[in-house]
Structure 1
């Protein structure tokens, strides 16, 4: 049972030390930086955005959980010692330094510190006891005052950084809304483009079918023409033979016509002398030659 409070005491001591604060501050800063990086990756739809957000959020959770074990710091009314911290009036730097040195000298001497907001002195209010303060305590006081000044400067820087981060977050939110609108418009345009491409594909398919049918018709016509050409080329020898036979037939018909003509002349000669005595037909030399030729 005693180990648990001892562990908590060690953890509080470590977090109160300078090394513990430095480590915790680094994890604060790094965790916040990775949270911003993961949010940026998520907005731009870059890979590993979810993983970065998960790791950074877990880191921030651990840091905030551990920071719950920090010891609460003691608060001092430093405005009573340094009136310029109130912000009521601007105090020159030289006057602030002179007041700090006077405070240190009075602390070393053990004299009461006089609180004043202006150059006029008021009723003395002892800040420290009348006993003599050692040099070590004075040195600790000086270091505390220096740390207070550094802390005030850091708080001012943190305030400016916080305002800048707030503005950046607002700009990121605005950019994200614009990106969402553009993404919606882009999706609408892509859908219309897809519909147009689908219509073009249907028209293209119809054209392909029509062209295919036309190509088939042209192929049939070409095959018919090739067949006619082959028939024509095959009919050329037959045409030559037919021409020769036609010429030979014409020649024979001519000769037959000549025979018929001579026969008719012979009959005509015999029919012109009906009372003439029957004498044997004496052919003329021309007729004899024709008879011999026949």
Structure 2
């Protein structure tokens, strides 16, 4: 399974996907878009706010996820374990990318270094958290063509059911959207437009005395050469600005994600409806 920044909502479904043995082809950096990516065509007239729309879809309802933290804490304590409440974080499309945006100011201040959350963690009672599937059959969900599974007898399953009305609705509300978007994201990164702008970026880097074919490799090499990391990062950021790398990448993400949103309107409605239920139940749970 692909690894990326985990939000408190995404962690639940990531565990579920692990239980189900599901995976997703292709890396998050765009160097291996996978077969599914080739089947996605870019929208001709994409809304420039498409990435923002995708960002909104990636993050579960904040109040509902706060309520789920309360349920998890209570459930894990009753099982003899513990749970540290986490503040729900906003996920973005850029969390799906290995190569993060980089401005000149960021490069000057911290190079490639960035703070990334490790997400939520359960202490003790691992079986209590995941459940066993022995007292109740595992619940499955199939959304965006991705199958996932959660045991309803664990605290994970119970938190989803109490907040979202059912384990299945909870799985739909909190997970798999990021995995489902990956083919569109990878197709955008593998587009001809991205190949062209990457070539321009590489030529700029050569003029700056740095010989890298892609920003991904510049980042990798910088981490292997700590003494040169800041210099490489600054050259990278300047060249990205010079060739409008980030603008081109955002434009391509808009075009391919617009196709994703259009193709999956019915499933997206299912996700949003489940989140509305979670928001309503959250009021009661958070009120105590």
Q: TM-score range by the shorter chain?
A: under 0.3
Q: With structure 1 as the length reference, what TM-score do the two structures score?
A: 0.25
Asked which structure has the greater CA Rg, the reply is: 1
- By percentage of residues, which structure has more helix? 1
Q: With structure 2 as the length reference, what TM-score do the two structures score?
A: 0.25
Q: State the structure with bigger RCO (CA 8 A, min sep 6), 1 or 2.
A: 2
